[in-house]
A and B are shown apart, each in its own frame.
Chain A
Amino acid sequence: ETGVTQTPRHLVMGMTNKKSLKCEQHLGHNAMYWYKQSAKKPLELMFVYNFKEQTENNSVPSRFSPECPNSSHLFLHLHTLQPEDSALYLCASSPSGRGNTGELFFGEGSRLTVL
């Protein structure tokens, strides 16, 4: 496999459920990101990881819990979500360090619906 792969592609959950989104990249990148894309809203950066360390938390509610066990994998653990959390969650990766132009490589997203 190549590129950035996200699973599941679609998820429906109740407000009391606990679920996780998974992202895997096969590009040798050292930075990974979670973005939230809601209807009629700009793309929102949620979390940034560089070399497995979290370097950005954009005031995300604690019901979203990221995990980055290594540079190739990123998870977003979800619990007690609200209906307004329904959105497309996009994972992205990029190289780190000198020579990095800032280009992001996105997965196809996980469409989350909270009932």
Chain B
Amino acid sequence: GDSVTQMEGPVTLSEEAFLTINCTYTATGYPSLFWYVQYPGEGLQLLLKATKADDKGSNKGFEATYRKETTSFHLEKGSVQVSDSAVYFCALSDQGTNAGKSTFGDGTTLTVKP
């Protein structure tokens, strides 16, 4: 079956540091890839997505590139802020008529200190 493996946390960084959270996946076919973010006391919300190989998703300074050759979708941000402190989930899903249940990684907790 499909699976997602993401970097274990917690990750603690100082403000303005560079962030990388690694994510690799195994899947049949050509899934969509996602990063979701969960702020304290809230549900998950989509951060960015990519639907085909070499696509780059970006939002709020975060980026991730769909790498089919390495089955990876690493999340990066050049300069983190205290407000980026949250739990980040990498996920994949089938597309089209087979889209539905998603497979999530275990989540990586990020804490950014001033």
Contact = CB atoms under 8 A, between A and B. Distances in A.
Size bracket, chain A contacts:
20 to 34
B101 A90 contact: no
A86 interface: no
B100 interface: yes
B33 to A, nearest CB: 9
B34 A103 contact: yes
Contacts of A48: 100-101
Contacts, number: 74
Interface residues of B, number: 27
A6 B43 CA distance: 10
Given A42-B107, A97-B96, A97-B97, A102 B102 contact: yes
Contact of B99 (A45, A56, A100): A100
A98 B41 CA distance: 33
Nearest to A42: B106
